[in-house]
Amino acid sequence: MKALGCNLVRVHIAGIDPRIYNLADELGLLLWVEVPSPHSSTPRSRENHRAELLRLVTLSETHPSIIIWSLYNEDWGAQDIATNPETRKYIVDTYHFMQIAYPQFLVVDNDGWHHISYTGRLKSDLLTAHLYTPDLDRWKELLDRLVGGEMEGTAAFPLVVGDPFFYRHQVPLIVSEWGGFGFSDYGGPQDAEARTNSIRAFKQELRRRPIAGDVYTQATNIEDERNGLIDPHTGALSVPEGLLASRQMEFLK
């Protein structure tokens, strides 16, 4: 991952072997970690979510490599976030708890879309968007909409729910998932050279805009997701070294 040019890895909705935290500390590779997602949004699932968060943060709070926490991802386990005030209240309260108890971390309320606005303030330290398209012109359009503060019609769902919110660069803007070039049913290129060319072109457009960082999806292939750039068995790269590097923060899920 460092050879690709990344300086941060997003550990996606999973508890992992804690030795990885030690390795990241040693390598100087930053981590974005996340609470595993519940299947449904219920009072019981929120109790379990909080218990799991507390277990994970107790285990990992002393690792300097960990700098970002996601509470939820793409509404998984918070499917009613746009319509249920109780769901939003739980996430807002948990965000405030993390701010007070663990001020060393940046906290994302719900990564990808449906961030929560309460009294006009975003309850997330980052405004994140998941943007997937294999078409370069459409990619440029989505990035322009994003940096222009268009909260609807940019990601799959509105970027913010709750109270009215107007983006004026209050928090850093992150494209926290992009890629998708390897999906066989997605329309992206299938071979490594074509994927390399697409990644390079998409990265150039990211660099041209005031976006604080981005997360390429993903490190290795898994099941039907064929976006990986690293062989999971050998660690060999299928693309040139430094492909994801830039002068901005470089992230990888």
Per-residue pLDDT tens over the stretch 83-124: 999 999 999 999 999 999 999 999 999 999 999 999 999 999
Q: Residue 81 burial (CB < 10 Å; 0-12/13-18/19+)?
A: buried
Average pLDDT, the chain: 92
**Residue 179, SS3 per DSSP:** strand
Round to whole Å and give the CA distance between 113 and 196.
Answer: 27
| CA 4 vs CA 33, 65, 121, 216: distances in Å | 20, 18, 36, 11
Confidence grade of residue 221 (pLDDT, cut at 50, 70, 90): confident
Per-residue pLDDT tens over the stretch 31-89: 999 999 999 999 999 999 999 999 999 999 999 999 999 999 999 999 999 999 999 99
Contacts of 74 (CB under 8 A, 6+ apart): 110, 111, 112, 113, 130
**Cα 67 off chain centre by:** 13
Residue 248, pLDDT > 80, answer: no
What's the mean pLDDT in 125-138?
95
What's the mean pLDDT in 24-30?
96
Round to whole Å and give the CA distance between 174 and 10.
Answer: 12
Confidence grade of residue 227 (pLDDT, cut at 50, 70, 90): confident
* Domain 8-252, CATH class in plain words: alpha beta
Tallying the residues shown for the chain, one arrives at 253
Round to whole Å and give the CA distance between 127 and 136.
Answer: 23
Global pTM reads 0.94
Residue ranges per structural domain of the chain: 8-252
Contact 66/33 with Cβ under 8 angstroms?
yes
> Which DSSP symbol is given to 222?
B
- Termini Cα distance of the chain: 10
Tokens coding 103:
């001020």
